[in-house]
Amino acid sequence: MAEIITKVTTYLSYPFVQYALIVGVLIALCSSLLGVTLVLKRFSFIGDGLSHVAFGAMAIAAVLKLTNNMPLVLVITIICAVLLLRTGQNTKIKGDASIAMISVGALALGYLLMHVFEPSNNLSGDVCSTLFGSTSILTLSQLDVWLCIILSIIVVAVFILFYNKIFAVTFDENFARATGTRAGLYNLLIAVVIAVIIVLAMNLVGSLLISALVIFPALSAMRIFKSFKSVTICSAVLSVVCSLAGILISVACETPVGSTIVAVDIIVFFVFMILGKILTFKK
Amino acid sequence: MAQLKCENLSLGYDGTEILSGLSFEVNRGDYLCIVGENGSGKTTLMKTILGLRQPLSGKVVFGDGLKKNSIGYLPQQTDVQKDFPASVWEIVLSGCQGGMGLRPFYNKEDKKLALENIEKMRLSDLKKRCYRELSGGQQQRVLLARALCATGDILLLDEPVAGLDPKVTAEMYEIISSLNRDYNTTIIMISHDIQAALRYAGKILHIGDRVFFGTKEEYLESEASQSFGKGGA
């Protein structure tokens, strides 16, 4: 045990591990904030869908040999997020089906593009790291970290400022619209924020595991807490704690960062589920 | 001047017209019940009045100081709401949202209004409770309190007693009537329950194959009621 602690403290003195911790915690915080809304709007899988879109966009960027693929990926992901969330409650193809369509489509096309044009020699390696997250969180530059900090501050600020409106639109879109809230605008806002979070989070956990970051803390919090505010706060705290724990464990045990974080999230979910059962039983 | 006036409305979706040439007006303090068979366009009409969908032709005009965003609305419950973690207080307060514009947080007046309406709906004891743990009747009262936060002028109710047991149904009707009587709130209600409509409402709008608009006394003598009354309603 003492050995592990020494190992972790040694690692913590390296700047790249510190960067990873900062970025990891910020992404966890941001992704959990909108998780509650997404779960309730039956959009749990949007993280998955959009991250596949981002994967497809990355493939396009790779084929075009762009050195900085961030802007292209961000733009394409935002457009898809807007298309998915725009129509909200009143869409014809329901949320889950449209997400499945876009998700599978983008994944297949992205892989096809990469295969046909073979931009790099290590194709399966590239695909694997895009899907499951790479060690790229350990190779972040100072610029990446600052970008992440700034975007996170914006996301959190937007969320706090529009918290009441997001609540109204999530709980009852038609009522909000009928009483003069610009529901369309806020749905758009939610979509853009989600897209930004997902592109950010792809660095950390890879596209397949983003959904976990978005939904697990929210679902865990919903087992126990009863008001929107307490659920939101609890899921933010849970998410931060789980990622922190996940990153530290992965450093200590040399496991993949993304999967370790998700594993911690899963454990916490079961703990909360059991706690929730006990609490209702007591009543 | 009428609070709400529908002029020659045609309603429908996807290009199919389900209702045409509908004209009626509602004055302050009216209690109007909208009745008609399933699929006759009752909810569509209500959504058109609320501005949630556009009429195929014709228009909805507001008057008597009524603004478009000061309409209280009690929608049918959605699936999302059934497991929504929200306290009664949060939901009622969200009714104040419409008047806020871009202001991000609720102020003292909003909170006072929400508190008044919680008391009006006799929900004070349940204020901190979770919405999804309440009974059907309590949930409807929460949504009614929320609608009252949006306005005290006019309430649109879409089948407010659907799924409630007879005792709670009677209570709900009583609450709605008292709002109309004591606070002069205009009520426009969609109902399947023709008996209740005739008991509580002052005016009836029947839509379907035959369209009727008038007081309930006139309605009882009209042909529209004959065909509908025999339908087992």
Q: What is the pLDDT of residues B12-66, one digit of tens each?
A: 777 778 888 888 888 888 899 998 888 788 888 888 888 888 888 888 888 777 7
- Nearest chain A residue (CA) to B105: A164
Kindly list the domain boundaries of chain A, sorted by start residue.
2-282
- pLDDT digits over A230-258, tens only? 999 999 999 999 989 988 888 888 888 78
| DSSP single-letter state for residue B76 | P
B154 pairs with which residues across the strands?
B186
* Residue A192 to residue A218: CA distance in whole angstroms: 20
How confident is the model at residue B55, as a pLDDT? 83
In this complex, do A167 and B150 lie within 8 Å of one another by their Cβ atoms? no
- Of the residues A175, A189, A232, the best mutation for testing chain B's interface (the one with the most B CB atoms within 10 Å of its CB) is A175
Asked if B47 has any chain A CB less than 8 Å from its own CB, the reply is yes
A161, A162, A222 ranked by CB distance to B85: nearest:
A222
How confident is the model at residue B232, as a pLDDT? 42
A89, A180, A228 ranked by CB distance to B98: nearest:
A180
Separation in Å, CA B174 to CA B120, B169, B180: 13, 9, 10
- Strand B186-190 and strand B31-35: the pairing is parallel
> How many domains does the structure of chain B reveal?
1
In this complex, do A175 and B146 lie within 8 Å of one another by their Cβ atoms? yes
| A88 or B152, which is more confident | B152
Asked if B55 has any chain A CB less than 8 Å from its own CB, the reply is no
Instruction: State yes or no: pLDDT of A39 exceeds 80.
Output: yes
How far is the alpha carbon of B53 from chain A, nearest alpha carbon, in Å?
A: 10
Domain that holds residue B86: 72-150
Residue B25 lies in a domain: no
Instruction: State yes or no: pLDDT of A36 exceeds 90.
Output: no
Q: Which of A245, A251, A252 is nearest to A268 (CA)?
A: A245
In this complex, do A226 and B85 lie within 8 Å of one another by their Cβ atoms? yes
Separation in Å, CA B106 to CA A255, B94, B95: 46, 9, 11
- Of the residues A44, A89, A163, A164, the best mutation for testing chain B's interface (the one with the most B CB atoms within 10 Å of its CB) is A164
- Nearest chain A residue (CA) to B155: A179
In this complex, do A181 and B97 lie within 8 Å of one another by their Cβ atoms? yes
Among positive and negative, which fits the CA dihedral A172, A173, A174, A179?
positive
Residues of A in contact with B14 (CB under 8 A): none
In this complex, do A174 and B47 lie within 8 Å of one another by their Cβ atoms? yes
Write out the two tokens for B24: 């009626």
Residue B120 lies in a domain: yes
| A29 or A126, which is more confident | A29
How far is the alpha carbon of A233 from chain B, nearest alpha carbon, in Å?
A: 13
Instruction: State yes or no: pLDDT of A154 exceeds 50.
Output: yes
Cα-Cα-Cα-Cα torsion A29, A33, A36, A39, nearest 10 degrees, comes to -80
- The rounded average pLDDT for each run of 10 residues, N- to C-terminus, in chain B (233 residues) is 83 78 86 85 86 83 75 81 86 84 83 88 86 87 89 85 86 88 88 83 84 83 62 42
How confident is the model at residue B230, as a pLDDT? 46
- pLDDT digits over A96-137, tens only? 777 788 888 888 888 888 778 765 656 666 666 666 655 556
- Of the residues B79, B92, B97, the best mutation for testing chain A's interface (the one with the most A CB atoms within 10 Å of its CB) is B97
* Residue A129 to residue A125: CA distance in whole angstroms: 6
- CB-neighbour burial class of residue B112 (10 A; exposed 0-12, middle 13-18, buried 19+): exposed
Q: Name the average pLDDT for chain A.
A: 81
Residue B76 lies in a domain: yes
0.80 exceeded by pTM: yes
Instruction: State yes or no: pLDDT of A80 exceeds 90.
Output: no
CB neighbours (10 Å) of residue B100? 17
- Nearest chain B residue (CA) to A159: B104
B35 pairs with which residues across the strands?
B206
In this complex, do A167 and B80 lie within 8 Å of one another by their Cβ atoms? no
How far is the alpha carbon of B154 from chain A, nearest alpha carbon, in Å?
A: 12
Residue B3 lies in a domain: no
**Which runs of consecutive H residues, i.e. helices, occur in chain A?**
2-12, 15-40, 46-63, 70-86, 95-117, 123-132, 142-161, 163-171, 173-178, 183-205, 210-224, 228-253, 257-282
In this complex, do A180 and B104 lie within 8 Å of one another by their Cβ atoms? no
Between A and B, how many CB-CB pairs are < 8 A?
99
How confident is the model at residue A241, as a pLDDT? 94
A175, A177, A228 ranked by CB distance to B86: nearest:
A228
How far is the alpha carbon of A158 from chain B, nearest alpha carbon, in Å?
A: 10
- Of the residues B67, B74, B84, the best mutation for testing chain A's interface (the one with the most A CB atoms within 10 Å of its CB) is B84
CATH 1.10.3470.10 assigned to A2-282: yes
- pLDDT digits over A142-153, tens only? 777 888 888 889
How far is the alpha carbon of B88 from chain A, nearest alpha carbon, in Å?
A: 9
B50, B71, B75 ranked by CB distance to A172: nearest:
B75
B73, B97, B147 ranked by CB distance to A165: nearest:
B97
- Nearest chain A residue (CA) to B127: A227
Asked if B137 has any chain A CB less than 8 Å from its own CB, the reply is no
The phi, psi pair for B157, rounded to 5°, reads: -120, 125
Residue B220 lies in a domain: no
| Structure ipTM | 0.83
How confident is the model at residue A271, as a pLDDT? 95
| B7 or A71, which is more confident | B7
Instruction: State yes or no: pLDDT of A169 exceeds 80.
Output: yes
